[in-house]
Structures are given as C-alpha cells and as structure tokens.
Amino acid sequence: MERLLEIENLHVSFQTFEGEVKAVRGVSFHVNKGEAIAIVGESGCGKSVTAKSIMRLLPSPQAKIKQGSITLNGVNLVNKKEKEMTRIRGFEIGMIFQDPMTSLNPTAKIGEQISEGLLRHNKISKKKAIEHSIKMLEIVGISQPEKRINQYPHEFSGGMRQRVMIAIALACKPNLLIADEPTTALDVTIQAQILHLMKELQLKTNTSIILITHDLGVVAEMCSRVVVMYAGEIVETGSVSEIFANPSHPYTKGLLKSVPRLDMLKQEKLSSIKGTPPDLLEPPTGCSFFPRCEKAMKICGEYKPGFEKTGDSHHSACWLHHPMAKEESTC
Ligand code: SF4
Ligand code: MG
C-alpha cells in the first residue's frame, strides 16, 4: 500500500511558567492512501497535539516541534512557511473538530462558508463555488440544500452543523481528513450517523482519515488500524481486530474495560483506570504507565520499554512482551 503520511520521531513541547511540557515524545506512525486510522487515548495524551502538528496549527509561540518529520506525499511539512501551509490546509488536509459552533462563523451564511475554501484554493467563479457548495450539502445528507446555503449556523442542529463541517472539510477533495473527536458533542444516534457518513464518503473518495478519539467504542465502525497513545507516546499499534480481540498493552486493556462492548457476550464490569498520567514537565525515565500498571515489574520503573511485535501488524511498548520477561515478578 502506498503511504500518504509518515510521521517520524515527532517531539512537541510547550513552554510554560513551570518549564517545558513535553507533550509529544518520539511519536512515529503512518497512514496509507485511502486508509482510516484512529489515534486513541485519554485527554492530554498528545493526540490532538499530534493532529495540530500535522496541520501546523500549534499555538505559537508557546508550542514547538522540537524534533522529527511529518511527511505528506513525500513533502516534509515541519519547516513549511505559513503561506504554503495555508494552501495545504483545506486543499490537501481537511479538518473536523469536536464543536462545529466554534469552527463555524456565526455571522456568515453556510453557503459562503463552504465556498470560501473553494474560492481560495481554486480558480472558479462565485457562482460555480455556490453550485459546488449545494452539491456538497447534498452529499453530506442535508435536504433542501438550495435553501439551506442561505441560512446561518444557528439555524442548524448540532448533527447538521457537523455535517456542514464535513462538507467544508471535503469540499476541496483533500487527500487526508483529520477528525478530532468529531462526534463527542453529539448524542449517540447522531454520532453513529456522522461516523457512518464519514466512512461512506471515505470509501467513495478514497480519502485517508485520522480519527482522534478518547472513545474506543467509535473506532471499530470507522477504522482499520489503531494507534494508542499514553502520556505523549505511542504504547500500542495494531489492526482494529488485533486491538479489540487481543490488546497487548496493560493501558489498552484498561481502556477497553472502560467502554461498553456490543461484540462481547459477557463483559467484565466497566471500570476506569485508577490514577492519573505522569507530569510531562518531568517525564518518567521508565515506562510512563508504571505508577498505574497492575502488571508493573521492577525494570518498568527504570528503563523505557521498546516496541515488541505481538501479532501480524501488532506492536506493543511493554516489558511484558520482552522475550526475557517473567510476568509473575509483579512489584
Ligand atoms: Fe506495565 Fe511494565 Fe508494561 Fe509499563 S512496561 S505497561 S509498567 S508491565
Ligand atoms: Mg483533544
């Protein structure tokens, strides 16, 4: 499969009054053309920071990419000038955020907001842009699009506004769509509709998707691969079936125990992971999950675990999977 995006050894830090918060530490993963992957983890694990790094939308000047590369279609985005990034955002990468109300302009008509990107990135007339906007609204399942383009965001429901965001993000046919918690603010039925719509459009247009979510429950429907992040690092990667049927990192196991599963006949009681993630002002030298891990061994607090292969396309950064590990030596 051809690669669209390749992230290698990404390090992102935030400068604060207390010091440097190392929010993303050595993250590497890739997205193939036409593939949908998920990045999952608790809030603050670095998933949104990773997404914002790809878009180069990190808050400036406090946040900085300290190291690493982000290669889209063979081009490294890390040192791109803002002018070039403006073209890339929207045209090559589309983005959908959690709350469409904060991303949509409350004072502009929906049609104008969809047309804006089209006019910026293409040499077309305003009339053509509006025609295309109507088509986009139709594609995302909004009825009476001719009437709807003249309405304002407050005249749309939450689910409809998220459909509009998808229309805006996909209007210029980007190669990559980054969706950061796109359905978190919506109720469950609407959530399922939006995810279904994204999946359908992805299959039709061959757009690659990065779905960012804290909710493993929404991943199975949409994605083929999962990247699990914890405390700024990747701790496990694998296909959806590997991660769901056979999670190998204790953190992923904990995450899975905290979501209701429809595919399981009987499930242990839902539980949340005890404790809190480490302070990224002073990241731990050993495994970041050490203080919360029920399986922790002595080595875990002292040395960082490397990635071990735990399945076909399955890797886990945990000492338990080291060939020399003895699981019974719990400390
Ligand atoms: Fe737990 Fe050790 Fe694995 Fe970290 S390396 S997840 S502390 S067993
Ligand atoms: Mg976030």
pLDDT in tens, 32-63: 999 999 999 998 999 999 999 999 999 989 99
Residue 296 has pLDDT above 60, yes or no: yes
To which H or E segment does residue 131 belong? helix 126-139
DSSP SS3 for 246: coil
**Atom nearest to 297 CA in ligand 1:** 2
pLDDT in tens, 220-257: 888 999 999 999 999 999 999 999 999 999 999 999 98
R_g (Cα) of the chain, nearest Å: 21
Q: Which residue has the higher pLDDT, 238 or 268?
A: 238
Task: State in Å: Cα 239 to ligand 1 middle.
Answer: 21
Residue 15's pLDDT band (cuts 50, 70, 90): very high
Residue 331 has pLDDT above 80, yes or no: no
Residue 121's pLDDT band (cuts 50, 70, 90): confident
Residue 326 has pLDDT above 80, yes or no: no
Q: Which residue has the higher pLDDT, 286 or 214?
A: 286
Task: Report every protein residue that has its C-beta within 5 angstroms of ion ligand 2.
Answer: 48
pLDDT attached to residue 329? 46
**Atom nearest to 287 CA in ligand 1:** 4
| Residue of 274, 289, 315 to mutate, ligand 1, most atoms within 8 A of C-beta | 289
pLDDT attached to residue 129? 95
**Atom nearest to 235 CA in ligand 1:** 6
| Distance of alpha carbon 39 from alpha carbon 2, whole angstroms | 20
Task: State in Å: Cα 318 to ligand 1 middle.
Answer: 5
Which ipTM score applies to this complex?
0.97
Q: What is the pTM of this model?
A: 0.92
DSSP 67-104: EEEEEETTEE-TT--HHHHHHHHHHTEEEE-S-HHHHS
pLDDT attached to residue 123? 87
Q: Provide residues with CB under 6 Å of ligand 1.
A: 249-250, 287, 289-290, 293, 295-297, 300, 305, 318-320
pLDDT attached to residue 261? 60
- Which ligand sits nearest to residue 316's alpha carbon? 1
CA-nearest residue for atom 8, ligand 1, is 296
pLDDT attached to residue 267? 53
pLDDT attached to residue 229? 98
Task: State in Å: Cα 44 to ligand 2 middle.
Answer: 7
- Which ligand sits nearest to residue 213's alpha carbon? 2
Please report the domains of the chain, with CATH numbers, ordered by start residue.
3-92+174-321 (3.40.50.300), 101-173 (no CATH)
| Distance of alpha carbon 91 from alpha carbon 104, whole angstroms | 18
pLDDT attached to residue 214? 87
- Starting at the earlier edge strand, list the strands of the sheet with 3-16: 19-32, 3-16, 63-72, 75-76
CA-nearest residue for atom 3, ligand 1, is 318
pLDDT attached to residue 160? 92
Residue 135 has pLDDT above 90, yes or no: yes
CB 197 within 8 A of CB 177: no
Task: State in Å: Cα 184 to ligand 2 middle.
Answer: 10
